[in-house]
Chain A
Amino acid sequence: MSKSLKLLSLVFVCSIALPVLAQDKAPPKPFGFGKPATKEQVAGWDIDVRGPDGAGLPPGKGTVAAGEELYMAQCAACHGEFAEGAGRYPELVGGRGTLKSEDPRKTVDSYWPHGPGVFDYIRRAMPFGAPQSLSPDEVYSIVAWLLNQADLWPADKDLDAAGLRQIKLPNRDGFIAGGDPRPDVKPDTCMTNCRKAPPKITSDLAARLGVTPTQKTGD
């Protein structure tokens, strides 16, 4: 048999062995991909705490005294010894009553709506650079100290899940219910003579402010 004939026969054999592409069949439901998540696997990753009702708050408790020690060691370098912030690092406490002002301050006691949300954030993201290194008791303690700084928790009382659920942060009702009210501006499609008066420049500092990085690559 010549080489080309052998090749031809091979092709022939292959073609009858190939399955027909079953395009008429719907994909399987479910596909069966993935593996069941075990209780242990879920427990290790299931770290979220829900703000309004504290669902997911772990067992444990903390004290303001322990919180102060932890805070000074692990948080104060960035957030200041009184949680007042440092440079561009955010303040954590203070500024109540500023939300209508020109300089609204968004701290735990001025802006955050839910105590359990504070626990959630510290547990998942803090301290900056060593997240998820604090035990539940340590997180409770730091939250207790912060709330105490904000005059929202007594210095001598332990803080646990029940206590955290029961705290009403001052700005709890500060968020507008009912979702997104936008669009909140009327469409203007005017094409000619659209202004009553010629445009007036109200802000032209950008070219002189000097806050914009240069276009140099810096090398």
Chain B
Amino acid sequence: MTETKDKPSRRSFLKKSVAAGGFTLLAGAGVGEAMAAGEDNLPPNVPEWMKTLGSGVTANPYGSPSSYEKNVIRRNVGWLTATEESSINFTPIHELDGIITPSGLCFERHHGGVPEIDPEQHRLMIHGLVDRPLIFTMDELMRFPSVSRIHFLECPANGGMEWKGAQMAGVQFSHGMVHCCEWTGVKLSTLLAEVGVQKAAKWLLAEGADAAAMTRSIPLDKAMDDIIVAYSQNGERIRPENGYPLRLLVPGWEGNVNVKWLRRIKVGDQPWHHREETSKYTDLMPDGKARQFTFVQEANSVITSPCPEKPMKFGKGFYEIRGIAWSGYGKIKKVDVSIDGGMNWKTAELQSPVFSKSLTRFRLPLQWDGRPMLLQSRAMDESGYVQPTIEALRKARGLNSIYHKNSVHTWRVLPTGEVQNVQVA
């Protein structure tokens, strides 16, 4: 190989990689090459990638992002939890456009790790106060009439690290426990009709097939309303991290009740008061009493550009403020943006269509004069609920409730364009 004497060109890398049979090798090598190439690929020069053939249709039977996007990943906060199996990571919302979260970037929250489930050996059992206790295979579940819906899913602890003050220097960590996907499955009400729910029934217990056998109690009314027993996410089967092969999708309600790896539903007449609805996922008030079964994720929003990870690096001039809003009460109706810490507000444009209980993209043009700003967004939903200030939330709930912190978020923009997470009063 004569090329080895010279500075290796992209072509030589291509040849070597193909010879080694390693497409990933090629992708990995490509990054460094392009950087070393400097301006060789810029006008008036012809870019290297136009001078040679690219990879063929068999190179990548299941596609993955460009190697140049390898920084767009879920991240975790090591100090937050004792183990990685009972932990959480965060969606890189600052890197995403639109409202659909790519499945591989959806934040993960597990209580006993991700089980590797053979769908042929997975079953859903529905029993308890029913006329016909039944067991379903995946094939049988997929025979039922199906629905597809776009919904956000948010951990109620999203933002929970900041009740006492701003501490996360990035929107991925301050707001990244949320994602939004198109979910397909059978309505839970269809399955409940199949087993014949008895008159005394008021609650369900949903149980996962993971190493925590995680359970939550859910009111029957919600089940009859809009809960989906989902097997698909963004068009393909649900990812293992998100509940493969079967999960509950409980629109607008706290992530924890959207039980993943669903294996059993028991119908009963009262809630079970299990660990995840007593010791956890309850909201402790200043008087020492705790709220329980606070299911709805109330309206929330955050500006994702700019943010600490995406500073205003071009100096003065035009920027488009971009962000996401969502509400468990229904559709987002309006999002206002302030650049002066909530003194004055301007209404942002919402990307249509706006779906109920879904992420909603908002945008507002801004001509930045280079002066410091306190950027905020404030969402309102169709129920009339308005995202509150952190002061208002603290006044209502104190500092110890951990969950459901959906307050207006503040980014301080410095004249340098640097963006910092702050709180204002």
Contact = CB atoms under 8 A, between A and B. Distances in A.
**Which of B193, B274, B293: most chain A Cβ within 10 A?**
B274
A67 interface: no
Nearest to A186: B392
Contacts of A190: 345
Interface of A is mostly: loop
Nearest to B334: A189
Contact of A180 (B291, B384, B421): B291
A51 B278 contact: yes
Contacts of B386: 187-189
Given A104-B284, A195-B342, A206-B420, A117 B213 contact: no
A174 B341 contact: no
B343 interface: yes
A217 B341 contact: no
B279 interface: yes
A156 B357 CA distance: 54
Interface string B274-316: 1100110010111111111111101000000000110000000
B71 A131 contact: no
B98 interface: no
B239 interface: no
Given A27-B145, A176-B291, A205 B196 contact: no
Nearest to A33: B140
B168 interface: yes
B308 A207 contact: yes
Interface in B56-93: 70-71, 73, 75-83, 85-86
A180 B132 CA distance: 32
A124 B205 CA distance: 14
A59 interface: no
A192 B343 CA distance: 6
Interface in A122-141: 124-125, 128-129, 131-132
A120 B274 contact: yes
Contacts of B196: 30
B166 A205 contact: yes
B127 A42 contact: yes
Contact of A199 (B70, B293, B425): B425
Instruction: Count chain A CB atoms within 10 A of each CB in B145, B272, B385 and give the residue with the most.
Output: B272
Contacts of B287: 100
A209 B347 CA distance: 33
B238 to A, nearest CB: 20
A34 B71 contact: no
Given A30-B196, A34-B136, A124-B213, A89 B308 contact: no
A205 B167 contact: yes
B143 interface: yes
Give chain B's interface secondary structure class.
Answer: loop
A199 B424 contact: yes
Given A131-B211, A194-B345, A199-B424, A175 B165 contact: no
A27 B336 CA distance: 46
Given A175-B282, A176-B289, A180-B296, A189 B380 contact: yes
B121 to A, nearest CB: 14
Interface string A125-169: 100110110000000000000000000000000000000000000
Contacts of B396: 184-185
15 contacts: A30-B196, A31-B144, A31-B194, A35-B136, A48-B266, A106-B284, A112-B278, A120-B275, A128-B83, A131-B213, A175-B278, A175-B282, A185-B393, A198-B340, A219-B70
Closest 10 CB pairs between A and B?
A: A199-B341, A51-B273, A88-B82, A203-B165, A187-B386, A99-B288, A34-B134, A206-B421, A124-B213, A203-B423
Interface of B: 70-71, 73, 75-83, 85-86, 111-112, 125-127, 132-137, 140-141, 143-145, 165-170, 173, 193-194, 196, 205, 207, 211-215, 263-264, 266, 268, 270, 272-275, 278-279, 282, 284-296, 298, 308-309, 336, 340-345, 347, 374, 380, 384-386, 388-389, 392-393, 396-397, 399-400, 404, 410, 412, 418, 420-425
Given A175-B289, A192-B344, 9 more contacts: A30-B194, A31-B194, A33-B140, A45-B125, A49-B272, A51-B278, A128-B86, A194-B342, A198-B343
